[in-house]
Every structure is written in C-alpha cells, then in structure tokens.
Amino acid sequence: WDFNEPISAGDWKVEQVFDYLLKPGVNEKLVATYDDVKGFLKEFEALYRKQYPKTPALDLDRLWTTFMRDLTTKMKVWTKRWLLYRADEMAKDWAAAAILSYAQEALTILEKAQEHQKKHGIAVDKFKPDVVFK
C-alpha cells in the first residue's frame, strides 16, 4: 500500500471475511447451508447403505463436519497470522514515516538556523568597533 491511504482496500479484504461471516443474517445462512449439506450426506449414506448393506459406514456427515472445521480453522489461523504480520509491517512503516517527518522538520529547522546565522553573521562581521569608536 502507499501512504495516501493507511489500509489499501484491496489488500485488507481478507480480514473482513470474518466480520462478514459473523453478521447475524449471514451466519444463520452459513449454518443453515452447512446443516443442509450435513443432512443430505446423512440421508444419502442411509439410502446408499440400504441398497448396499454390506458397505461399511462412511460417516459422510462426520467427514463434512471435520472438513468444514479444518478448512475454517486453517483460514482463521492463516488470516490471524497474516493480519498480525501486515499490521506489524504497517506500524514499522508508519514509525519510519514519522521519523522521516521529524527528520525533515529537523532539517528545515537546521537550514533556517544556518540561513539565520549566515544572514546575521555577516552583519556581526561587518561591524567594526575600532572603526566606529575612534
């Protein structure tokens, strides 16, 4: 990102996924969809085992739960690490920008002091007490 906007919208959308998933309407739909798929898999396996009774239990609904938990846990861990890393990098960049800003301000003050010294130093040098007070 550049310093025109502290958080580039395109680069930080990954963290907003969880805000979105936690919204009441969205979360309810997510859970309902998950439950629908789980129910379908349970029903499918029951029908399949009816037709093929010697087939061992696959526990498709349990596999679905494991898959969804593992997937979202990995997403959560990755996003948290990414967020901490990016926020830390942003803090370092902002600290560097602040130091640079102070350095620029200090340089401006130094240049003004040198200009002041030069301007008024010439007048001091020009004043000759032995010429003025003869």
**Residue ranges per structural domain of the chain:** 12-132
Question: Does residue 7 contact residue 1 with C-beta atoms inside 8 Å?
Answer: yes
Cα gap 12→6, rounded to integer Å? 11
Q: Which residues contact 38 (CB under 8 A, 6 or more apart)?
A: 61, 64, 65
Cβ neighbors of 44 (< 8 A, separation 6 or more) are 60
Give this prediction's pTM: 0.61
Using CA atoms, how far apart are residues 50 and 42, in angstroms rounded to an integer? Answer: 12
Q: How many Cβ atoms sit within 10 Å of the Cβ of residue 61? A: 19
Main-chain phi, psi angles of 6, to 5 degrees: -60, -35
pLDDT score recorded for residue 56: 93
Q: What average pLDDT does the chain have?
A: 83
**Amino acid found at 93:** D
Question: pLDDT tens digits for 49-84?
Answer: 999 999 999 999 999 999 999 999 988 888 888 888
